Amino acid sequence: MGIVRKVRAWARQGGDDRAALGEADRYAAAKAATQKLVAEAEMRAAQAETRAAQAMRKVSEPFRAAEEEAAQMLADARRQAEEIVSAARTEAERERAAPSALEGRLAEAQAEIARLRAELARFRPAE
């Protein structure tokens, strides 16, 4: 049994005690006003939480977009760096292979010259 009911029951038993009834009514009115204030405060707090969540989303969206863009730029930079390194390695291999290929061609040319000299010597009259 609530306190208001207890006070009213007590006041009824005492018969003529209007002060107790007035006190119970004031208590009930104060309790109702307090409950109304609490309900209003809770409603305002819920609205404030909603606004705060919206503000956080608005603030975090640009950061998230910037992080995504930075990650994409980093991935592109890595891919380009790998392409450059691969091209440089290919060119270095080509440069390393070029002298040996030239040396091989030079040896072939020298062998051909020696063969042609030998053939020329065969056709020349002996002196």
Q: For position 101, what pLDDT does the model report?
A: 75
pTM metric for this prediction: 0.42
Q: What is the pLDDT of residues 63-110, one digit of tens each?
A: 899 999 999 999 999 999 999 999 999 998 888 877 777 788 899 999
Number of Cβ within a 10 Å radius of residue 24:
19
Number of Cβ within a 10 Å radius of residue 11:
19
What whole-number percentage of the chain has pLDDT above 90? 46
What whole-number percentage of the chain has pLDDT above 70? 83
Q: For position 111, what pLDDT does the model report?
A: 94
- Residue 7 and residue 27 in contact, taking contact as beta carbons nearer than 8 Å: yes
What's the average model confidence in pLDDT over 17-25? 68
**CA atoms of 91 and 84, how far apart (whole Å):** 10
Of the two residues 25 and 74, the one the predictor is more confident about is: 74
Q: Which of 71, 74, 94 is nearest to 82 (CA)?
A: 74
